[in-house]
A = this chain, B = another copy of it.
Amino acid sequence: MLKPVASARVVDIVREQLRGAILSGELAPGSRLSVPELARQLEVSRSPVREAVLLLVGEGLAIEHSRRGVEVVNLTLADLLELYELRASMDSLAARLAAARMSSTDLTALRGVLDAQGAAAIGDWRGFRELDARFHQIIVQTSGNRRLARHAELLSREMRLAGPLHINESWHLKQSHEEHREIERALRQRDGPAAELAMHAHLTRVAGTVAAHHRPQ
């Protein structure tokens, strides 16, 4: 039983590498993405690198200044709040749809993520965020609306660029975890409207907390 070989194109590998470097912070916000320079480092020609860089622009992770190069996006607080606003809308739609379509396997996976998150909540905010992303990802993926999943995924990645703007205090992480539990409960009971409301309340609350945290009064 042989599986088809996915033709490993150079551009795909480069895209993954660059995305990883950007999301991990290795390529910091504001960094210039020089095609010749990256090509030298990755030891490939400029063509696939140029293509990959433009794809990242399309994903919203980098911004293009016509004829003056591309650089990693540097999100402001306003940008992050925009993203939360949009995700509140999209993810709550996803939650409502997912409530009606989730398989028991999906629910188990979701529960697993939450349990892991509960265990990690002690102080490891890095792992916590990772699991948070996974939680939301499972929901949008099972919504059954592929475009919703794609756009939500794009927004999710974009938000990860705002690392220093997020809040890592334990009370906030605990609160998020509680809200995740509530969403999961609604999903398990297949209560679409409740899941939708809980998701919307969750993301709106987080956005408010982030805003308050960065605007002292």
- Which B-chain residue is minimally distant from A88 (CB atoms)? B93
The A contact surface, by secondary structure, is: helix
Q: How far is the CB of A211 from chain B (nearest CB, A)?
A: 14
What is the total number of copies of this protein in its complex?
2
A124 interface residue (CB < 8 Å to B): no
Residue among B55, B89, B92 making CB contact with A58, cutoff 8 Å: B55
Q: Shortest Cβ distance from A208 into chain B, in angstroms?
A: 16
A58-96 interface bits toward B, Cβ cutoff 8 Å, 1 = contact, 0 = none:
111000001100000000000100110110011011000
Minimum Cβ distance to chain B for residue A60 (Å): 8
- The reply on A105 being an interface residue by CB < 8 A is no
Tally chain A residues at the interface, Cβ within 8 Å: 28
Instruction: Please give, as numbers and ranges, the residues of chain B lying within 8 Å of A89 by CB-CB distance.
Output: 89-90, 92-93
17 A-B residue pairs with Cβ-Cβ distance under 8 Å, sorted by A, are: A7-B66, A9-B67, A51-B51, A51-B54, A55-B58, A82-B148, A83-B147, A85-B145, A85-B148, A86-B90, A86-B93, A86-B147, A86-B148, A86-B151, A90-B90, A147-B155, A147-B158
